[in-house]
């Protein structure tokens, strides 16, 4: 995909990234009052669409925003955004805000205004280096399960990682690892695959959920959904992150120390590689059956 302007669906109209404009009074701009999704399309075919749209509906319901489009309308938007991207790996970003009211007020507008809706598409970068991460305090709000556009603590943690020459920040609350700033975290401990349980303290990642389905269906490794302590993380045999645009992302260094021991120290471990192969096969099967 070139640097030319990309199409944008904005509040029922089509424009592009060079001409798209939102109201200065949109509550997403003023308060971060909205939610979003990032839906990957591999080879031009959407992946995990049903799961992403179900999570969008949960996020909208949790903050009291009415569904702005029917499923068929969303599909029409996605089809137009993907037009011309056959064979390419791209991601659709969609955002829904509470809309633009006549005045700035913390309280929700009464009567309600039309939600603000935006969707666009951008390329997914190729695989980069294995991840080097730092640990940082989890300073986010108490409803991390809502995919809110209000991401200031996440961006601050990720910037702290970048300033230390690392790729991601792993967030820690009360001595327990929750997730990454923009990823879910898995650790291999004594042969078990451990990841934080779903609930208000983490975002239920779509790749996280699909991977767990694959692992359990194929009985690839014993799974435990529980929080990992910071001490246990430092002793983990393997660690990897997941996200919709990076799939399984091996972690090879945490706070300057190599992950793992022996011949696997500082490398993607054997369980990580096995799970990645299984997940890639699952992705391919979904593309073939679409």
Q: Please list the active-site residues.
A: 147
At which residue do the structure tokens 């009211």 appear? 101
Tokens of 200: 């208000």
131-137/247-254 β-pairing? parallel
**Helix (H) / strand (E) containing 13:** strand 13-16
Residue among 201, 220, 193, 198 nearest 279 (CA): 220
Rounded Cα–Cα distance for residues 68 and 51 (Å): 18
Letter string b/e over residues 95-110, b meaning 16 or more CB atoms within 10 A of that residue's CB = bbbbbbbeeeeeebee
**Helix (H) / strand (E) containing 154:** helix 152-163
């Amino acid at each position: 995909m070139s640097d030319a302007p990309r199409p944008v669906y904005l509040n029922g109209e089509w424009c592009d990234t060079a001409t798209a404009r939102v109201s200065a009074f949109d509550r997403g701009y003023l308060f971060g009052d909205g939610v979003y999704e990032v839906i990957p399309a591999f080879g031009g075919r959407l992946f995990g669409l049903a799961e992403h749209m179900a999570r969008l509906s949960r996020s909208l319901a949790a903050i009291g925003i009415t569904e702005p489009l029917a499923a068929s309308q969303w599909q029409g938007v996605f089809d137009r955004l993907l037009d011309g991207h056959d064979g390419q790996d791209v991601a659709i970003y969609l955002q829904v805000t509470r809309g633009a009211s006549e005045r700035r007020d913390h309280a929700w507008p009464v009567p309600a205004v039309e939600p603000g809706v935006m969707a666009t598409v951008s390329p997914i970068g190729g695989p980069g280096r294995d991840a080097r991460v730092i640990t940082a305090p989890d300073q986010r709000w108490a409803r991390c399960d809502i995919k809110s556009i209000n991401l200031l603590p996440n961006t601050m943690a990720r910037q702290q990682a970048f300033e230390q020459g690392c790729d991601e920040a792993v967030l820690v609350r009360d001595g327990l690892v929750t997730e990454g700033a923009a990823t879910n975290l898995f650790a291999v401990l004594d042969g078990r695959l451990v990841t934080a349980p779903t609930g208000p303290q983490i975002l239920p990642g779509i790749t996280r959920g699909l991977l767990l389905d694959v692992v359990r269906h194929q009985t690839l490794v014993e799974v435990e959904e529980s929080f990992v302590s910071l001490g246990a993380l430092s002793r983990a045999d393997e660690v990897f992150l997941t996200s919709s645009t990076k799939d399984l992302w091996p972690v090879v260094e945490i706070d300057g120390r190599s992950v793992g021991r022996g011949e696997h120290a500082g490398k993607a471990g054997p369980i990580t590689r096995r799970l990645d192969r299984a997940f890639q096969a699952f992705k391919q099967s979904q593309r073939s059956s679409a």
